[in-house]
């Protein structure tokens, strides 16, 4: 590569000035040793001071999230570089690469020409991580079914169906992946997809440690009414994990924004999931959530949708779910699912697992379907996910692990293609048999990936190293830290403060950024540096 490719293009800077910047921005080598655990007793550092001046023009929230909720990714992605994140939103990163504009207009009126080569490279990196993630997903959810939803209520119903199938996976296998969560944090609707949840039994205390159940004699003479029975003690605990791929065979430094974003992402998942696991008076208020989200909980689902979801949730543990015809009916079954889980909250210890990303030209590693409990998964290591963006399910997809439980094959394709009866009555009579027959046929047919595997030569010795686990990082949940972070990110989204770019120590990130040429943050920092040098020269030489 040429020096011009990474020319910082600071205005009116001397060679000596640029040399000083380069010296300050030299990356420090990462250590391959396990990441040290942060001290739980240490207070969480507050966010860095941000400019008090609000960002010019309409807020990101008004421009891009006026009709849809914020996601966990929306609250963690800006940590890499808030300017790059803002520019990527203006550059319509939600569109396919070929449809994105070549220039973006900033609120200030300035235009930035997007470096398409760098943008394409970033897409390839994300695609590699997504491929590994897809293999992971199919381990526990080999059956992927598309259901046609036509209303907002039906799309929310599909989200609930994925929650119920996730609970079923935890009950059957001890863990699940791609579990939807939602709620309101700081008066903002937030959604997310948890990468992995593991359900483990709570150790049974010895008899000497168990409290006595015999009532005290004073209770027979007490004038007050006995207190109501407390909720049963949890029999299980849920543990959250997230998986990240790394381009280099090293772990990120604990203090880096990369590691911080991974920690905050898991903290946000726990903050959203805990209320959904609450029981009794503190149980999640679905009615209020539906109302605040503009959903009619009593609006009946369409007949086609009802028939489809009933065929997907045949479970003896919640028969009422098979009779649900609206959101209210589905929400009424959720307490039963929580009861079966036997867990009332998420463990405070969270874990990030890092794995080396497949090299260029290599397919993502093919992993066997899970046939063993989570302990075996921990022994062999679990492949990670993309670093760039949180995975999310298409709104019309339901992931299944059990139907049919005795058939190990995979079904990839929209089920509703088979739903072509002459009438809704016939659909109701035949849909179950059609689903089972389709799954049976598809389970016996090799997927394109499997066909390629049979024709491809054996991988060279040492190839598995490209997907090996690099290490994991366990850390404690910090409520003060996550709520400070939410406040800080919402201020950015609402335009209450201007974005912040990278520190000079991380200026190498600019060299891969599609928006480097014309970045306002770089221009501002270059001017500050030039003015600082001039002031020092004035002091030194009068």
Q: Token pair of 335, please?
A: 């307490």
Ordered by start, the domain boundaries in the chain are: 126-202+233-455
State residue 398's pLDDT score: 60
pLDDT of 472 higher than 80: yes
The pair phi, psi for residue 166, each rounded to 5°, is -65, -40
Helix, strand, or coil (residue 473): strand
State residue 355's pLDDT score: 86
What is the per-residue pLDDT across 378-437, written as a single tens digit (0 to 9) for each? 332 333 333 333 444 555 556 555 443 332 333 333 333 332 333 333 333 333 343 334
DSSP strand pairing (70-71 vs 188-201)? parallel
* DSSP symbols for 302-367: PHHHHHHHHHH---TT-GGGGG--SHHHHHHHHHHHHHHHT-SSB-SEEEEEEEEPPPTTPPPPP-
State residue 467's pLDDT score: 60
Q: Token pair of 518, please?
A: 């014309």
State residue 56's pLDDT score: 65
What is the per-residue pLDDT across 339-364, written as a single tens digit (0 to 9) for each? 999 998 899 999 999 988 766 554 44
What is the per-residue pLDDT across 223-277, written as a single tens digit (0 to 9) for each? 555 555 556 678 899 999 998 888 888 898 888 888 999 999 999 999 999 999 9
Residues in the chain: 542
Helix axes 479-493, 257-277, angle to 10 degrees: 100
State residue 359's pLDDT score: 66
pLDDT classification of 521: cutoffs 50, 70, 90: confident
**pLDDT, the chain, mean:** 71
Q: Comparing C-alpha atoms, which of 76, 126, 71 is closest to residue 97? A: 126
Q: What pTM was estimated for this model as a whole?
A: 0.69
The pair phi, psi for residue 189, each rounded to 5°, is -70, 130
Q: How large a percentage of the chain has pLDDT more than 70? A: 59
**What sections of 114-202 are H helices per DSSP?**
116-140, 152-173
The pair phi, psi for residue 467, each rounded to 5°, is -115, 20
Q: Taking the chain, what is the end-to-end CA distance rounded to the nearest angstrom?
A: 42
State residue 310's pLDDT score: 82
Q: Which residue has the higher pLDDT, 16 or 208?
A: 208
Q: How many CB atoms lie within 10 A of CB 88?
A: 22
pLDDT of 444 higher than 90: no
What is the per-residue pLDDT across 44-69, written as a single tens digit (0 to 9) for each? 444 444 444 566 678 999 999 988 99
């Amino acid at each position: 590569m040429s020096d011009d490719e990474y020319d910082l293009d600071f205005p009116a800077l001397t060679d000596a000035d640029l040399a000083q910047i380069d010296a300050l921005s030299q990356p420090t080598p990462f250590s391959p040793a396990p990441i040290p655990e942060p001290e739980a007793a240490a207070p969480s550092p507050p966010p860095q001071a941000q400019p008090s001046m609000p960002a010019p023009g309409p807020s990101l929230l008004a421009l891009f999230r006026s009709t849809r909720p914020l996601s966990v990714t929306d609250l963690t992605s800006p940590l890499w570089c808030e300017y790059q994140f803002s520019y990527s939103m203006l550059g319509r990163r939600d569109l396919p690469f070929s449809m994105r504009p070549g220039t973006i207009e900033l609120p200030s009126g300035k235009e930035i020409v997007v470096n398409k080569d760098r943008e394409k490279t970033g897409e390839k990196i994300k695609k590699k991580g997504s491929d590994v993630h897809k293999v992971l997903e199919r381990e526990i959810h080999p059956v992927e079914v598309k259901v046609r939803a036509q209303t907002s209520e039906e799309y929310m119903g599909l989200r609930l169906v994925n929650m119920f199938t996730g609970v079923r996976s935890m009950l059957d296998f001890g863990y699940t992946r791609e579990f939807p969560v939602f709620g309101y944090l700081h008066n903002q609707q937030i959604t997310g997809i948890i990468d992995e949840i593991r359900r483990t039994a709570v150790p049974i205390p010895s008899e000497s440690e168990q409290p006595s159940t015999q009532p005290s004699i004073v209770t027979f003479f007490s004038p007050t009414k006995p207190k109501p029975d407390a909720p049963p003690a949890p029999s299980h605990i849920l543990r959250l994990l997230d998986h990240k791929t790394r381009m280099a065979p090293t772990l990120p430094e604990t203090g880096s924004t990369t590691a911080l974003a991974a920690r905050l992402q898991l903290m946000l998942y726990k903050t959203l999931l805990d209320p959904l696991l609450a029981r009794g008076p503190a149980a999640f208020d679905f009615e209020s959530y539906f109302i605040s989200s503009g959903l009619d909980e009593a609006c009946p689902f369409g007949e086609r949708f009802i028939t489809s979801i009933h065929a997907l949730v045949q479970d003896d543990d919640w028969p009422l779910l098979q009779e649900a015809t609206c959101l209210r009916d589905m929400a009424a079954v959720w307490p039963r699912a929580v009861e079966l889980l036997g867990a009332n909250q998420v463990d405070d210890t969270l874990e990030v697992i890092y794995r080396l990303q497949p090299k260029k030209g290599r397919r993502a590693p093919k992993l066997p379907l899970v046939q063993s409990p989570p302990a075996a998964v921990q022994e062999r290591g679990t492949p990670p996910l993309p670093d760039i963006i949180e995975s999310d399910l298409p709104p019309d997809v339901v992931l299944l692990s059990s139907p049919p439980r005795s058939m190990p094959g995979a079904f990839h394709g929209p089920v509703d293609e088979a739903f072509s009866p002459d009438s809704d009555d016939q659909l109701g009579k035949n849909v179950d048999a059609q689903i089972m027959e389709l799954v049976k046929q598809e389970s016996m047919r090799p997927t394109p990936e499997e066909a390629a595997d049979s024709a491809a030569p054996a991988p060279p010795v040492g190839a598995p190293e490209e997907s090996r686990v690099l290490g994991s990082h366990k850390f404690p949940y910090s409520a003060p830290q996550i709520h400070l972070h939410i406040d800080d990110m919402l201020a950015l989204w609402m335009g209450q403060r201007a974005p912040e770019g990278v520190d000079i120590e991380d200026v190498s990130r600019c060299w891969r950024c599609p928006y480097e040429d014309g970045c306002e943050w770089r221009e501002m920092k270059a001017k500050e540096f030039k003015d600082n040098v001039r002031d020092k020269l004035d002091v030194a030489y009068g």
